[in-house]
């Protein structure tokens, strides 16, 4: 084979490099360009291999040995470092830092060296951001183990810090690409203030709302809240920068904008949960046609009830005295008044009714639906099932005993009532 005859691949490479040289890449020597590329390429590949070796060694030492050491400890807080891969991300930082410092020195061409340094600079910034994210996530998880985290959540603050460092990292990347000072790029943001406010409107409003909610202790993780506008009725799972995540009682999840809790109203049941009691407030609509005076026979029958004996004795003693401005015969016991006294005595004697809470039985304004008789008191047990059972049992009794007082509830005519009326006629 003729030694002076070169292969087609080498000829093509020479032609490609000469074309680049003709376009202005004068940094490359026209002669021996293949040797030029091979030498620099071998040195650069050696640096890459060295960096990869450092990464492997660090991974074995830090992630394998140090990770197993953390798993063996009795402490649980150090497991967060492994769960968020903080050690693993640190092992990538140092090899790239080496390439960023030494890599450009291996390339004699100034343009290639600058391009390489830009690539490694951006890679270094990305890895640094991932390390900072892991640190913030670790701090947040450790903070969640504290009781104070339920009252003052850290999620919104950590997300704000992530946004800030991401913006700084983006500016540094842009600065590396353009070869401009970061200060010059930051100064250019002044002209984009309106655009920035529009893009980051929700995070800014969410941050302000989160600070108000946390500082005033208006909302905390684990609170039961109601926000009818967004169909939310359940437990707060997370207080983030821009949203509040609520798990409803039907196990669905509702996302509410954080600033909406400040601009609109919402109900927080935390006070009820912490007090240990829960209010019962319900009305019985009494048919107005059944309200009247008690007869002597009815009074005698009702006197057999232990809960009414003291009331009827005191009332009868009061009625035997002078009636003042009213004739004595006009002052008589009413079935609605006696029924109110019975309800009050019944709830006052009930073992699951809070004695220290307000206990009230009152008449409301009569309507076309009858006379509303409102019962107001507090249950000792604020657990949902027990609370509903107490309420149901109590009103089952109050409704069932109404006929003994000559009273009945108001009820609009139903289809069966109309059928019975037509049949009777």
Task: Specify the pLDDT at position 278.
Answer: 92
What confidence category does residue 5 fall into, taking pLDDT thresholds of 50, 70 and 90? very low
What are the respective helix, strand and coil percentages of the chain, to the nearest 5? 60, 10, 25
Buried b / exposed e over 280-319, threshold 16 CB at 10 Å, is beebbbbeeebbeebeeebbeebeebeebeebbeebeeee
Task: Specify the pLDDT at position 400.
Answer: 94
The arithmetic mean of pLDDT across residues 174-196, rounded, is 70
**CA 258 to CA 211: how far, in whole Å?**
10
Tokens for 338, please give them.
């006696």
Task: Specify the pLDDT at position 234.
Answer: 93
**CA 106 to CA 32: how far, in whole Å?**
18
5-14, 81-90, 103-112, 325-334: which has the highest mean pLDDT? Answer: 81-90
The arithmetic mean of pLDDT across residues 160-188, rounded, is 79
Tokens for 168, please give them.
């700084």
pLDDT digits over 72-83, tens only?
Answer: 666 666 666 666
What confidence category does residue 25 fall into, taking pLDDT thresholds of 50, 70 and 90? very low
Alpha-carbon dihedral sign for residues 298, 300, 305, 311: positive
What confidence category does residue 329 fall into, taking pLDDT thresholds of 50, 70 and 90? low
Task: Specify the pLDDT at position 425.
Answer: 62
Q: How far is CA 241 from CA 90, 120, 204, 223, 257, in A?
A: 27, 32, 9, 18, 9
**CA 242 to CA 221: how far, in whole Å?**
15
Comparing C-alpha atoms, which of 395, 394, 337 is closest to residue 362? 337
| CA-angle at 280, arms to 276 and 282, nearest 5° | 170
What confidence category does residue 3 fall into, taking pLDDT thresholds of 50, 70 and 90? very low
Range with the poorest average pLDDT among 212-216, 279-283, 360-364, 411-415: 212-216
237 vs 101, residue with greater confidence = 237
pLDDT of 35 > 70? The answer is no
The arithmetic mean of pLDDT across residues 295-313, rounded, is 90
Whether 166 and 128 have beta carbons less than 8 Å apart is answered as no
What confidence category does residue 57 fall into, taking pLDDT thresholds of 50, 70 and 90? confident
**CA 140 to CA 402: how far, in whole Å?**
59
What confidence category does residue 253 fall into, taking pLDDT thresholds of 50, 70 and 90? very high
What confidence category does residue 39 fall into, taking pLDDT thresholds of 50, 70 and 90? low
Residue with tokens 């799972």: 237
Task: Specify the pLDDT at position 179.
Answer: 74
Q: How far is CA 111 from CA 17, 26, 104, 118, 124, in A?
A: 15, 11, 10, 11, 20
Q: Is 141 exposed, middle or buried (0-12, 13-18, 19+ CB in 10 A)?
A: middle
Task: Specify the pLDDT at position 23.
Answer: 45
46-60, 145-159, 213-227: which has the highest mean pLDDT? Answer: 213-227
How many CB atoms sit inside 10 A of residue 338's CB? Answer: 22
What confidence category does residue 26 fall into, taking pLDDT thresholds of 50, 70 and 90? very low
The arithmetic mean of pLDDT across residues 405-423, rounded, is 80
**CA 362 to CA 54: how far, in whole Å?**
82
Across the chain, mean pLDDT equals 78
Task: Specify the pLDDT at position 275.
Answer: 86
Q: To the nearest whole percent, how much of the chain has pLDDT over 70?
A: 73
Strand, helix or coil at 89? helix
Task: Specify the pLDDT at position 319.
Answer: 75
pLDDT of 384 > 80? The answer is yes
The DSSP call for residue 256 is: E
**CA 323 to CA 325: how far, in whole Å?**
6
What confidence category does residue 31 fall into, taking pLDDT thresholds of 50, 70 and 90? very low
Whether 279 and 382 have beta carbons less than 8 Å apart is answered as no
Task: Specify the pLDDT at position 4.
Answer: 46
pLDDT digits over 188-212, tens only?
Answer: 666 566 666 666 677 777 777 877 7
Task: Specify the pLDDT at position 397.
Answer: 94
Tokens for 241, please give them.
């920068």
The arithmetic mean of pLDDT across residues 176-182, rounded, is 76
């Amino acid at each position: 084979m003729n030694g002076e005859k070169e292969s087609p691949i080498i000829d093509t490479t020479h032609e490609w490099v000469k074309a680049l040289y003709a376009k202005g890449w004068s940094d490359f020597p026209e002669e021996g360009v293949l040797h030029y590329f091979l030498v620099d390429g071998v040195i650069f590949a050696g640096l890459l291999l060295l960096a990869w070796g450092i990464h492997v060694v660090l991974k074995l030492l830090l992630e394998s040995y140090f990770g197993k050491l953390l798993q063996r400890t009795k402490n649980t807080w150090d497991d967060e470092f492994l769960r968020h891969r903080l050690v693993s991300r640190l092992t990538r930082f140092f090899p790239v830092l080496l390439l960023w410092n030494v890599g450009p020195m291996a390339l004699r061409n100034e343009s290639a060296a600058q391009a390489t340094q830009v690539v490694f600079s951006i890679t270094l910034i990305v890895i640094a951001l991932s390390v900072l994210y892991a640190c913030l996530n670790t701090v947040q998880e450790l903070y969640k183990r504290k009781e104070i985290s339920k009252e003052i959540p850290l999620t919104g603050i950590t997300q704000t810090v992530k946004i800030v460092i991401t913006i700084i990292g983006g500016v540094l990347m842009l600065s590396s690409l353009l070869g401009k000072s970061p200060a010059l790029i930051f100064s250019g943001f002044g002209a984009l203030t309106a655009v920035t406010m529009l893009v980051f409107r929700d995070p800014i409003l969410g941050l302000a709302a989160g600070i108000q909610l946390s500082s005033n202790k208006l909302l905390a993780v684990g609170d039961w809240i109601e926000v009818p506008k967004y169909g939310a009725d359940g437990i707060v799972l997370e207080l983030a920068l821009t949203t509040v995540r609520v798990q409803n009682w039907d196990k669905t999840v509702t996302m509410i904008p954080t600033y909406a809790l400040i601009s609109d109203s919402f109900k927080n049941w935390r006070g009820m949960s912490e007090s240990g009691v829960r209010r019962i407030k319900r009305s019985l609509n009494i048919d107005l046609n059944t309200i009247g005076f008690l007869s002597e026979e009815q009074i005698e029958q009702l006197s057999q009830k232990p809960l009414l004996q003291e009331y009827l004795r005191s009332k009868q003693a009061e009625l035997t005295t002078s009636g003042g401005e009213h004739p004595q015969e006009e002052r008589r016991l009413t079935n609605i008044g006696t029924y109110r006294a019975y309800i009050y005595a019944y709830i006052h004697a009930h073992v699951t009714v809070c004695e220290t809470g307000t206990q009230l039985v009152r008449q409301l304004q009569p309507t076309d639906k009858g006379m509303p008789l409102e019962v107001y008191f507090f249950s000792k047990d604020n657990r949902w099932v027990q609370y509903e059972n107490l309420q149901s049992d109590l009103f089952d009794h109050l409704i069932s005993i109404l006929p003994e007082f000559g009273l009945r509830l108001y009820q609009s005519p139903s289809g069966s009532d109309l059928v019975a009326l037509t049949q009777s006629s």
